[in-house]
Amino acid sequence: GAVVSQHPSRVICKSGTSVKIECRSLDFQATTMFWYRQFPKQSLMLMATSNEGSKATYEQGVEKDKFLINHASLTLSTLTVTSAHPEDSSFYICSARPPHNEKLFFGSGTQLSVL
Amino acid sequence: GENVEQHPSTLSVQEGDSAVIKCTYSDSASNYFPWYKQELGKRPQLIIDIRSNVGEKKDQRIAVTLNKTAKHFSLHITETQPEDSAVYFCAASRVGNQFYFGTGTSLTVIP
């Protein structure tokens, strides 16, 4: 299957700092990537759809100024959590779908802990 | 938009027994239905999927059935093993569009 790489796998930061998470499609080009947030023992909540070369589409209730998404190339999307606070602590995971392929592949996820 | 419901939220079975997880969806235009297995702190892994033009698909101990008329699909795991213990998610999507996930089922296989 296709490979989606996500870094870092774990981040611990102080409140008020910004954290950047990278998502890369290693063996295919992805014009669209998806960012999810997952709380313990809960489902995957779609935060935004990242579109290469254009603005991301955010789901209702997700602050676009808080969660900055940049999809500057066909293989890289980044999520920046700005001025992180403890309530932003969560598991963030990206995913992408190869061209002409209905299957969705996930990155390995990033566990963010804000102190 | 699409709404996917998944039941049960938790399921415990004895090793060797079968496990069944059910999902319903609301958008009749959805045409692709994958199932993912997620272990704690890991990424969801695709275990089986089915398209809307197929009623059933099987891969060794895992099978998925789809009833388009009733808008529900189910995951069947036979001869369960302790390593099957994980959280399972169903999803529905239209090809090319975003995925909508169920709320997840925590499966525990008791040795």
Q: What is the model's pLDDT at position A41?
A: 81
Nearest-Cα distance to chain A for B79, in Å, is 25
Per-residue pLDDT at A60 exceeds 80: yes
Q: Distances in Å between the alpha carbon of A18 and those of A3, A54, A65, A82, A112?
A: 27, 22, 12, 4, 11
Over range B75-93, report the average pLDDT.
97
Q: What is the model's pLDDT at position B55?
A: 93
Per-residue pLDDT tens digits for B27-66: 999 999 999 999 988 999 999 999 999 899 999 999 999 9
Over range A13-31, report the average pLDDT.
95
Q: What is the model's pLDDT at position A99?
A: 85
Per-residue pLDDT at B96 exceeds 80: no
Q: What is the model's pLDDT at position B37?
A: 97
Per-residue pLDDT at B98 exceeds 90: no
Q: What is the model's pLDDT at position A31?
A: 87
> How far is Cα B69 from Cα A37, in angstroms, rounded to an integer?
32
Q: Distances in Å between the alpha carbon of A87 and those of A13, A78, A113?
A: 13, 20, 9
B48 close to B5: Cβ distance less than 8 angstroms = no
DSSP-assigned states of every residue in A61-86:
T--TTTEEEEEEETTEEEEEE-S--G
Contacts of B43 in chain A (CB under 8 A): 93, 106-109
Over range B70-93, report the average pLDDT.
97
Q: Which of B43, B49, B93 sits opposite A107 (nearest CB)?
A: B43
Q: What is the model's pLDDT at position A42?
A: 86
Per-residue pLDDT at A71 exceeds 80: yes
Q: What is the model's pLDDT at position A78?
A: 96
Per-residue pLDDT tens digits for A78-108: 999 999 999 999 999 999 988 888 889 999 9
Per-residue pLDDT at B88 exceeds 80: yes
Contacts of A91 in chain B (CB under 8 A): 41
> How far is Cα B102 from Cα B99, in angstroms, rounded to an integer?
10
Contacts of A109 in chain B (CB under 8 A): 41-43
Confirm or reject contact between A54 and chain B (CB < 8 A): no
A34 close to A95: Cβ distance less than 8 angstroms = yes
Q: How many CB pairs under 8 A join A and B?
A: 49
